[in-house]
Chain A
Amino acid sequence: MYNFDFVKPGSVADAVAALAGEEAQPLSGGQTLIPSMKARLNAPGSLVSLTGIPELVGVCREGDTLVIGAATTHAQVARDAAGDFPGLAALAGQIGDPAVRNKGTIGGSLANNDPSACYPAAALGTGATIVTDRREIAADDYFQGMFTTALEEGEIITSVRLPIPQASAYAKFVQPASRFALTAAFVARYASGVRVAITGASENGVFRWAEAEAALSSDFSANALDGLAHSAHEMIADLHGTAAYRAHLVGVMTRRAVAAAGS
């Protein structure tokens, strides 16, 4: 990879200041950024590590919301969210493999917005709020297509606020080589209704499946989805699955997530 300067600030303010420099980029767990730098797809002039900032790490409950610091690893979420939000903890525990989970972070995952990543499904499926150094962004506005988000240049995610659902589950069909999602569904039930977010399937990145949400909001059971099929339009087609197959999996995984969530 190309060389760069490495800085490790101790506070968000210092990080934001460091990121104002030319071609500076934040580094969180590095589980996406480092491989892409090795492939020379990414060439920052300086890297600003977020792993030395205590205020960015941690999982805590504030009323009906779970607040997760941006630099919290997947492993920590899998452990610390298990009591308050088991559906999210289970999702975090399915990301990649143990070593990836020990480094990769929720902030990095949401900033990257890989169309096959897991966390975007949870953020969109809960209607989370993405908190940055300068504002709060609703998940519905945040995800803007594959690898594209509402983040501005130099803006960093500091935490994510996820409304805790009454019931939730994540059903992931693994892309066998990369271990990302070939197609996965996150289903969350709230008093106000059900949200369904699908990742891995669409050329437009994570999305909500409105028809399924409507059906499940009136009857939260797998049977409520009978007869519902997602269109294959704009679904990803690659070595691992055709567009039609992914569209089919959208239904299967949603059904499985509902079944796993219980009532």
Chain B
Amino acid sequence: MSKVTMTVNGRKMAAEVEGRTLLSGFLREGLELTGTHVGCDTSQCGACVVLVNGQAVKSCTAFAADLEGAEVTTVEGMANPDGSLGNIQQAFQDYHGLQCGYCTPGMVMSTAALLADNPKPTEEEVRHYLEGNICRCTGYQNIVRAVMAASGQDVGALAAE
């Protein structure tokens, strides 16, 4: 066991980890930040996506010990300072971009990474970017709408093709 320190959602946090402790486990068990979900064991589903030093990373596919000193943002860190829903979160609620909520933390974090890189993505770009995030509930259409709305674009009608 060794101690790992990270800045998580702006706060310095530490927990004891084994070599095999994954970032997802560090967050969920070590820090009790259970917003980050685990939906697979082959690194495909993206339910676990968080930002590490500003970049989207699958927290189930990174060792906590390899991230000493990293800045991590999870879905718990996405609300406004007053506790109200942040811009991306609000768009997901407004456009019904979630149902069971299980994929949602990963979707929100991937969206944050996308919009940081590409503030006005097209529908194609959004669909492509979300390739690593699986949602079984929504059929994605409302997620895509929510992402585009979060980027300030009109989503009244998503084109048919």
A and B, direct touch (CB closer than 8 Å)? yes
User: Would you call B93 an interface residue if the criterion is a C-beta within 8 Å of the partner chain's C-beta atoms?
Assistant: no
How many of chain A's residues touch chain B, expressed as a range? 20 to 34
User: Which residues from A are CB-within-8-Å of B141?
Assistant: none
How many of chain B's residues touch chain A, expressed as a range? 20 to 34
Q: What distance in Å separates the Cβ of B91 from its nearest Cβ neighbour in chain A?
A: 19
User: Which residues from A are CB-within-8-Å of B65?
Assistant: 6, 8
Q: What distance in Å separates the Cβ of B142 from its nearest Cβ neighbour in chain A?
A: 20
Query: 1/0 per residue A214-232: CB within 8 Å of B?
Result: 0000000000000000000
| Chain A residue, CB-CB nearest to B53 | A102
User: Which residues from B are CB-within-8-Å of A6?
Assistant: 2, 19, 63, 65-66
8 Å CB contact of B19 from A5, A39, A96, A103: A5
User: Would you call B143 an interface residue if the criterion is a C-beta within 8 Å of the partner chain's C-beta atoms?
Assistant: no
A127 to B41, CA, bound (A): 35
User: Would you call A49 an interface residue if the criterion is a C-beta within 8 Å of the partner chain's C-beta atoms?
Assistant: yes
8 Å CB contact of B43 from A8, A34, A75, A177: A34
B20 touching A30 by the CB < 8 A rule? no
| Chain B residue, CB-CB nearest to A104 | B61
User: Would you call A192 an interface residue if the criterion is a C-beta within 8 Å of the partner chain's C-beta atoms?
Assistant: no
Q: What distance in Å separates the Cβ of B85 from its nearest Cβ neighbour in chain A?
A: 23
User: Which residues from B are CB-within-8-Å of A39?
Assistant: 41-42
A103 to B57, CA, bound (A): 7
A35 touching B56 by the CB < 8 A rule? no
Query: 1/0 per residue B126-155: CB within 8 Å of A?
Result: 000101110000000000000000000000
User: Would you call B49 an interface residue if the criterion is a C-beta within 8 Å of the partner chain's C-beta atoms?
Assistant: yes
B19 touching A34 by the CB < 8 A rule? no
Q: What distance in Å separates the Cβ of B28 from its nearest Cβ neighbour in chain A?
A: 15
| B interface residues, Cβ below 8 angstroms from A | 2, 18-20, 22, 41-44, 46, 49, 52, 55-58, 60-63, 65-66, 68, 110, 113-114, 129, 131-133
Q: List 12 A-B contacts (CB under 8 A).
A: A5-B19, A6-B19, A30-B61, A30-B62, A35-B42, A97-B132, A98-B114, A99-B110, A100-B43, A100-B58, A103-B61, A178-B44
